[in-house]
């Protein structure tokens, strides 16, 4: 099948498939007589693996490592579990950061009178350049 068909079946865009080829996440597709990329069922299976991994929030580097583990039939499942566990830790940290941001913004919204006066605690906090919860992002 051509890249458009592979994109449709995998749920990825053709642009993303070409990008994955360019960074060696997938091997370059073979070319037909017309010069178009040609993909088979094995390619689709790999693309589906990548898509699912990305949907779960794994970085491209982590996806690359997962692909290597997936293809290594001699691998220990402990290696896969360790990688997934580290990803869970990173997700939990991100969740904590998002909750803190939400709580800070909620406090500011609650403090805002929302009237016709120009005084606004939300803008005042943003202007200060620092957050109440210690994050300087």
* 44-65 per-position pLDDT tens digit: 999 999 999 999 999 999 999 9
What pLDDT is recorded for position 133?
53
Res 89: pLDDT: 98
Packed helices 41-55 and 3-10: angle between N→C axes, nearest 10 degrees: 50
Q: Is the pLDDT of residue 130 over 80?
A: no
Q: What is the pTM of this model?
A: 0.78
pLDDT of residue 131: 55
In this structure, are residues 80 and 49 in contact, taking their beta carbons and an 8 Å threshold?
Answer: no
């Amino acid at each position: 099948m051509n890249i458009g068909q592979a994109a449709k079946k995998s749920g990825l865009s053709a642009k993303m498939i070409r990008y994955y080829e360019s960074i060696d996440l997938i091997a370059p597709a073979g070319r037909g007589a017309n010069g178009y990329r040609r993909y088979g069922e094995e390619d689709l299976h790999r693309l589906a693996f990548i898509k699912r991994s990305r949907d779960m929030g794994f970085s491209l580097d982590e996806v690359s490592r997962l692909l290597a583990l997936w293809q290594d039939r001699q691998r220990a499942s402990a290696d896969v579990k360790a990688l997934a566990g580290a990803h869970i830790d990173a997700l939990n940290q991100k969740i904590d950061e998002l909750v803190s941001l939400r709580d800070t913004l909620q406090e500011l919204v609650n403090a805002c009178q929302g009237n016709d006066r120009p005084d606004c605690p939300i803008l005042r906090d943003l202007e200060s350049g620092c957050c109440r919860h210690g994050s300087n992002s």
